[in-house]
A and B are shown apart, each in its own frame.
Chain A
Amino acid sequence: MTTSKIPEGLRRTNDPPLLILTSLAEGPKHGHALAKDVATFAGVRLSPGALYGAITRLEERGLITPLDSDDRRRPYRITGAGETALRDALTEMRHLADVGASRLKLATTALA
């Protein structure tokens, strides 16, 4: 599912819903475009089952919404609630990154 070298228990960034919201923050995408984008920016290959499992949960919770389409490749866009949820998650991760960096005596930029 991932090409990352970080041990399993330490990866917070391979959570499919978070990856999907991050991808959709750029603009609407359909399933294949989402999977390709996620693989590019996170190095995570989401299986069709994992991708659509996460899409189902996100849509149920109103964090993403489908757009009208005549094609079977239906695009999704992030909702206002989705943007808020993503912002909260990123803020939390930023806080964690800051704490970890300061304790390791690293500049946050050195983590990039």
Chain B
Amino acid sequence: MLRWYPATWRERYGDEMVALMEDELAGRRPDLRLRLSTAWSGVRERAHETGLVASGAPLERLRAGSVLVLFSWAVFVLAGISFSKIAEHFAQALPSSARPVAQHAFDVVAVLGVAGVAIVIVGTVVALGPLTRYVRGGGWVRVRRSVQGAVATSVVLLGATVGLVVWAHHLNSLQRNGHNVAYVSAFLLCGLLFAAVLAQWTQVAARWVRLVPWRSATLRVEAALAVALGVVMATITIAAAVWWSSIGLHAPWFLRGSRVGVAVSAFTPSIVATMTLMAGAGALGVVGVTRIARTWVTARDEGPQ
């Protein structure tokens, strides 16, 4: 019945909770209601562990809002990488009269993409002090397993990337762009590995955000950065949509890789999937920003937790 709970939680409280259930049931079999409520509590505990759910206190809600923005950024990065791959060399496909709108929209995406990365770096630097104190104060034990997992996957990714680059140097342009099935498969595997690394490090960061006893002021700075990141994501999504519209209107063949002038739909699976992912992540970011904004005023008067 406890399989819905995270492993670390089961390790710490599992035996106690089973003992409690045995006492409460006194030999009876657990009914459906108990099973469902236990499953729901387990799912909530998982959400707590990721830092996405907060209990009561305003600063905890501020923290949960920031974690939600962080998660949405991780997904957004994947959508951004896919978008930049799709948009490669788009300018050459457009007639010069139609170029400015798409170019400006793409520039906004590129500049804000860099701004987003800068915000994440600033957030990491701000967090370094409390993080170091937490690790030195014995907190390492609580995050060791997740950090080791993320480091291991990162090392595998690094090795795979180096191997892929070396392989790519022995292939011609056609082979690199879809004509060598083995290379394309390896490329896709690397992409999946990258997504896994991103997910693991995001989970590590979220865990740190939840466990470290932040000072109120530091948490507010992080929340402000999260709000900025949310705004960046929303703006990038709009700019990417403008770019897509412009290309769809003036050079839809570019999205399909067809010959110039061929009338085709601009709704290719890759761009639709990318824009859906981007919009979904952006919307999640906006939810996080809204949580932060709603908590902001209440949190102002709270002390450190």
Which residues of A does B touch, CB under 8 Å?
17, 30-32, 35, 47-53, 55-57, 61, 71-74
Contacts and interface: CB of A to CB of B under 8 A. Distances in A.
A30 B38 CA distance: 19
Interface in B1-60: 9, 13, 15-21, 23-24, 34, 37-38, 40-42, 44-45, 48, 55
A57 B41 CA distance: 13
- For the complex, would chain B's binding face be called helix, strand, loop or mixed by DSSP majority? helix
Most buried by A among B16, B37, B44: B16
A53 B4 CA distance: 13
A8 B44 CA distance: 21
Given A32-B23, A35-B24, A49 B16 contact: no
A53 B44 contact: yes
Interface residues of B, number: 22
Nearest to A61: B305
Contacts of A32: 19-20, 23-24
B263 to A, nearest CB: 58
Contact of B19 (A17, A31, A53, A57): A31
Contact of A48 (B9, B24, B44): B24
A72 B19 contact: yes
A30 B17 CA distance: 10
Contacts of A71: 19
Given A35-B24, A47-B34, A57-B55, A52 B19 contact: no
